[in-house]
Amino acid sequence: MTRIDTGAPESVLPTPSHTVGPFYGYALPFPGGEDIAPLGHPDTVTVHGYVYDGAGRPVPDALLEVWGADPEGRVPTADGSMRRDPASGGFLGRNGVEFTGFGRIRTDADGHWYVRTLRPGARGRGAPYLSLCVFARGLLTHLFTRVHFPDDASLLASDPLLSRLDADRRDTLVAGDEGAGTYRFDIRLQGEGETVFLEFP
């Protein structure tokens, strides 16, 4: 059953998702996971916020992954988001120059997270965004959402996804501008102000 016969198409069915659980903290996060932008890059933005549950309490054991295009809208192809040291077997860190586009961040004890990355450029028909994937204890299948930037109202107005949402739901996908390249993006897993989550059928 768990050896997949690729000659029989009906047997190629997906492996079910399962929760990340509470104890990934020593395994999945890596030092500098939230610092995606090459050092000193002028297009660097900081996005930060809190993750809340249905009771409005912060979620201290959520894990977020960020994936985005570079400022020209190109998808990064560089590897080395979590470089390893072949000599010691330990963690080496990003090389500070190449943009890999991928980050992994755990919320802190207050449910707070941040990422420093490059402001994404537009691709295709939509307004530019960062793709965000949310994992947590209690969440049996991860959730996708998007972080849009508030700067260009006309691009946001014509975005194929944003333009078909009610205004209050739409606003959950647009970060707040706090100045100096810093944006606020809270994630509400349930209840009032619940974040819009996406599926890709």
Partner 1 sequence: MTDALTQADIDREIAAAHAAYGKRVADGAPVEHHPRRDYRPYRSSVLRHPRQPLVAIDVSQDPELVELSSPAFGERDVTGTDNDLTRQHAGEPVGERVTVSGRLLDRDGRPVRGQLVEIWQANSAGRYAHRREQHDAPLDPHFTGVGRTLTDADGHYRFTTIRPGPYPWRNHVNAWRPAHIHFSVFGSAFTQRLVTQMYFPNDPLFAYDPILQSVTDDAARQRLVATYDHDLSVPEFSLGYHWDIVLDGPRATWTEEGR
Q: Which is nearer to partner 1, 75 or 178 (CB)?
A: 75
Positive/negative CA dihedral, 113, 147, 22, 20: negative
Q: Cβ of residue 179: shortest distance to partner 1, in angstroms?
A: 26
End-to-end CA distance of the chain: 25
Q: Which of 176, 162, 171, 163 is nearest to 195 (CA)?
A: 171
The burial class, CB within 10 Å (0-12 / 13-18 / 19+), for 137 is middle
Of 39, 96, 141, 163, the one binding partner 1 by CB under 8 A: 141
Amino acid identity of 180? Answer: A
Q: Which stretch binds partner 1 (CB under 8 A): 40-48, 69-77, 150-158, 177-185?
A: 69-77
Using CB under 8 A, count the residues that bind partner 1: 82
Is residue 58 within the footprint of partner 1 (CB under 8 A)?
no
Is residue 18 within the footprint of partner 1 (CB under 8 A)?
yes
Please answer whether residues 115 and 66 qualify as being in contact, where contact means their C-beta atoms are separated by less than 8 angstroms: yes
Is residue 144 within the footprint of partner 1 (CB under 8 A)?
yes
Of 40, 42, 55, 154, the one binding partner 1 by CB under 8 A: 55
Range 77-106, binding partner 1 (CB under 8 A) = 77-86, 89, 100-102
Q: Which of 149, 155, 143 is nearest to 185 (CA)?
A: 149
Q: Cβ of residue 172: shortest distance to partner 1, in angstroms?
A: 10
DSSP 8-state symbol, 84: B
Cα dihedral value 77, 82, 32, 25, nearest 10: 130
Of 44, 161, 171, 181, the one binding partner 1 by CB under 8 A: 161
Is residue 25 within the footprint of partner 1 (CB under 8 A)?
yes
Q: Which stretch binds partner 1 (CB under 8 A): 42-50, 129-137, 150-158, 174-182?
A: 129-137
